[in-house]
Structure 1
């Protein structure tokens, strides 16, 4: 049977690629970067045959005309390449991904599928740093974390548990690394609800989210201006508690939070923690190990990295 051999959670930010020269908190930035390298070494040591990357999509592959709660890339995977992240077709394993989609449905989660999935830095930041130099095919699992209504946190955990069950039902001895990309806390200059934009910038964002399919580059420069001009909002205490709870195997406690409660505690960008909870559930909420935490106002985000090893059978 296929099995999960390692879980990894890591924050992402394209500002890490484009604004390194503007970093003031250099020691914090280098500590997080080194933690990504440590996580990459842990993945290499686990010798995965495939990496399932659970991440968000920042309206470069999904749009308000169609945005499922959960989508599995089962064929071609194309990276958008924004802000120095990987670009173009990525290495995949379509037979494995298609079999996984079928097993997920049998396990109880009806994921949408895409045979030509465009991903952005919500997935490719992990490919760039965590899989650097590793010849491992990827299976993207995209979770809707920005376009309300969002999937409940307990449904994300159910997805993670069913992912482990689906792998366990697959033949062969495929070794799988499960990577969660996103978070920790941050506040993006995006509308709290796309149905009620406030001001010209939020109206522009909603227009881009609705009309960007096949034309997202037309909106990207002004989107970037709005984001880089934003005031940093990081919930440092929440982030440290979240990582402590990951180490103690207590992330299951977060499943009772509503979308509104998670947003109040960690910002609208903290909704990406759905990816971490999905990954942790695939590891049975086993205790993990925090590698680093760095509140980075220059990157607008609390940057964290952690690993979870499966408990012995």
Structure 2
């Protein structure tokens, strides 16, 4: 019988790759890095045959011309390679990905399919750190967390539960890791609603999101400038409470939250917490273990790592 053998939730930030030498909160940075290493060792010990990476996409593989709520990479998977993250073809399991897609649809979660999916650090950060030096193929599951309207949080929970049931029905004895990439609290210098940008920077970003297909790199320099110049907004109190709920196995309570609730509590970047809910639901909301947390203003984000073992 196939089964999910481990779940990981981990924040991501390209600034970890590009701005390490500018970090002032070195204790927090090292604590988060060590947490990623501990998560990597836990995944290695679980010996997965495949890893489902539930993550976001920061308008390097999806654009406003087409953004489904949920997308599964069922064929070729390409890393965008921005800011020192993995670039080019990634090792995949198209047979497993296609079976997951069919099983999810059968169970009531309609996922879009991509036979040539470009992912960015919303997923490759996890490949770079949580799967470091592990020869584990990946199945990317992309959740729309940036282009309103966003999928409801209870639908993300349903996705996770349906993912668990689908894995259990896979033939053979596959061991599956589920890795959630994103969060915790942060506020990106992006329009909360792409339909209502304010100021030149937000108007530029919406233009990049709309016209970036095949040309995203031409927009990336100014995008990076906008992000690195942003003022950090981190709700460490929320992050601590969220991780405590994970440890108690109580993340299901966030299924009743709205997108407005998430943004008020954790910022617009906190919408990525949907990926953690998918992962936790796939693990049956079993009690987990916090591996690290650090509020990192240099990386604009509350950086957390947690582990759930069935």
TM-score by length of 2: 1.00
Q: What secondary structure, in the 3-state scheme, does the structure 1 residue paired with 2:196 have?
A: coil
Match of 2:290 in 1: 290
Q: What secondary structure, in the 3-state scheme, does the structure 1 residue paired with 2:189 have?
A: coil
Match of 1:63 in 2: 63
Matched, 1:142 2:142: yes
Deviation string, structure 1 residues 27-80 (Cα, Å, up to 9, x no partner)? 110000000000000000000000000000000000000000000000000000
Deviation at 1:2, TM superposition (A): 1.7
Deviation string, structure 1 residues 95-125 (Cα, Å, up to 9, x no partner)? 1111111111111111000000000000000
Gaps of 5+ in 2: none
Q: What secondary structure, in the 3-state scheme, does the structure 2 residue paired with 1:260 have?
A: helix
1:37 and 1:22 map into 2 onto residues whose CA distance is 21
Deviation string, structure 1 residues 104-153 (Cα, Å, up to 9, x no partner)? 11111110000000000000000000000000000000000000000000
Match of 2:5 in 1: 5
Q: What secondary structure, in the 3-state scheme, does the structure 1 residue paired with 2:195 have?
A: coil
Alignment of 1:153-172 (within 5 A): 153-172=153-172
Alignment of 1:218-229 (within 5 A): 218-229=218-229
Alignment of 1:16-35 (within 5 A): 16-35=16-35
Q: What secondary structure, in the 3-state scheme, does the structure 1 residue paired with 2:139 have?
A: strand
Match of 2:280 in 1: 280
1:203 and 1:2 map into 2 onto residues whose CA distance is 47
1:231 and 1:219 map into 2 onto residues whose CA distance is 21
Q: What secondary structure, in the 3-state scheme, does the structure 1 residue paired with 2:221 have?
A: helix
Alignment of 1:237-252 (within 5 A): 237-252=237-252
Match of 2:78 in 1: 78
2:235 and 2:110 map into 1 onto residues whose CA distance is 34
Match of 1:45 in 2: 45
Deviation at 1:264, TM superposition (A): 0.3
Match of 2:270 in 1: 270
Q: What secondary structure, in the 3-state scheme, does the structure 2 residue paired with 1:197 have?
A: coil
Deviation at 1:179, TM superposition (A): 0.1
1:214 and 1:2 map into 2 onto residues whose CA distance is 38
1:144 and 1:291 map into 2 onto residues whose CA distance is 26
Q: What secondary structure, in the 3-state scheme, does the structure 2 residue paired with 1:131 have?
A: coil
Deviation at 1:212, TM superposition (A): 0.1
TM-score by length of 1: 0.99
Deviation at 1:169, TM superposition (A): 1.2
Q: Which runs of 4+ in 1 moved over 6 A?
A: none
Match of 1:187 in 2: 187
2:102 and 2:258 map into 1 onto residues whose CA distance is 29
Match of 2:178 in 1: 178
Q: What secondary structure, in the 3-state scheme, does the structure 1 residue paired with 2:52 have?
A: strand
RMSD: 0.4
